[in-house]
Chains A and B, each alone.
Chain A
């Protein structure tokens, strides 16, 4: 025990001296390990950011965190007000927006072009509280309770903003007037109040009018509007949906209730695929960075052959030399991991303020602590392994070879 303590003291002393004497080497090793860490984490963070962006867009335009649909055999959910009241009483529920859907089309009498859309009759305020549609207005403004004759439409329905040129669209902009057609029910001139751009085709074929206009145009009463094709529920936290769905189911609500994951089959699948890609990218990045780190530490120790030979010649035993290089590698590993965290943090901060522009929208890389912690542990183990294996091989060499052949 006494011998071990003595060996560790000398090893620590030598390691510390070695590191503090070669600050440039330390900086270089730290940067390389840091970049290795970054290469393992950043692409994964970007892909996770993309996944989160897609999920968030789908949640905040199509389904909410939780979606309620009519029971089998029914076209609508009835008694919406009392359902809203029940749901609102649950903890974790932030906002609710019932939507009444109608098949409709926009018609431009000047060009004769027609673009079909799903028209949602909504409470403008509730919709704004529940989804992000109002946040993505690119031209004009979102509807409000006081909007008398206006509609908000998705960018895909206009030639100017469409991201899906093959879909039918009109050559119109915010402020223009078009004909709103509800087949067999209504044909009415309406102003395009606003155009939203979600960069999400599935969401941009919608139009929104408020309840007041629906009552006016379609001669509907409040009682008529106490029904919904779908009810979107926004929860305070993403991730707790299943728990709230369970509570809702216990309230005997006459509707089918789903968390968003169950409704967004294709998107969830896409999201899962991205998750797999993200993990593969991370593993490849890790293997490359592990290899780099291993080789670098190995070379660093190889360059010390002559010095190891001298230490052996003056009677420093192999174990002490081995400990010394393991301690150095541990130190390099720790400094490198700190540098890696710092670089990742800087990059994520940068891309948070300057998001990466992708066809589906702006992507912000996601800080994934638990993943980074795992990578850190592995990087640390690799650093120590490299230090151990390199110095173990070298200390076994004949002293004179080490000293004179370098």
Chain B
């Protein structure tokens, strides 16, 4: 039996508009599992709730209703501090707009989660150097975000997400801000990582990405429309 790392059960996210008494249902009862080592794609039209789902799975947001089990443990109702610890230790997050810390160079940006987790700056920088080499940024270790191209910044963001050997990496349209070539490089990087056993959940609106995913969750109007299994 295939082990799942994440199980989402009846996830709902409602936004209440106080002035107009209108309720927006960003997610409306979504349930699914993410299996260990799979490359899961979340697709759907704009405003369908893809990013909201990813934010909730990544513990960046709280569901209005429903549960999330990470490695068998319910995590959506944990305290902020406990969630922060899980984000640090077990999850990696890659944003569409890279979201690096501008005051830190590539090496420091990458090493930061490790420093928070392990506390040993030297050891963390050594590991960060190794990971940055893996993502092809050996020559950019001491460059600041503003000195890097979009593709390079996204590689740093991926390196940072990998730093504490996460159980799962969440990527929110990581190629949307990149040119075609850089986008392909980033996708190939994710595919490499996935081949090495890394579980990845990626939101994408680009149809050409479909072929890379093991499974695809199609979301529409906050509801799970269908799941396509490609392997």
Interface residue ranges, A against B (CB under 8 Å): 2, 5-7, 9-10, 13-14, 17-18, 20-22, 307, 310-318, 320, 398-400, 403
Contact = CB atoms under 8 A, between A and B. Distances in A.
B160 interface: yes
B103 interface: yes
B101 interface: yes
Interface string B24-36: 0000000000000
Interface stretch (B87-95, B130-138, B190-198, B201-209): B87-95
Interface residues of B, number: 32
Contact of A315 (B55, B113, B119): B113
B115 interface: yes
Given A307-B101, A315-B164, A400-B60, 18 more contacts: A5-B119, A10-B112, A10-B116, A10-B119, A18-B103, A21-B102, A21-B103, A310-B101, A312-B84, A315-B85, A315-B87, A315-B89, A315-B113, A315-B116, A315-B117, A316-B84, A317-B84, A318-B84
A84 to B, nearest CB: 73
A370 to B, nearest CB: 39
B189 interface: no
Contacts of B88: 314-317
Contact of B99 (A2, A22, A403): A403
A317 B81 CA distance: 6
Given A310-B99, A315-B84, A17 B60 contact: no
B219 to A, nearest CB: 18
A232 B216 CA distance: 102
A17 B84 contact: no
Given A320-B116, A399-B60, A314 B102 contact: no
A9 B119 contact: yes
Contact of A316 (B89, B112, B119): B112
A400 B119 contact: no
Contacts of B119: 2, 5-6, 9-10
Nearest to B62: A398
Nearest to B88: A315
A6 B116 CA distance: 7
B104 interface: yes
B26 to A, nearest CB: 12
Interface in B94-128: 95, 99-104, 108, 112-113, 115-117, 119, 121
A316 to B, nearest CB: 5
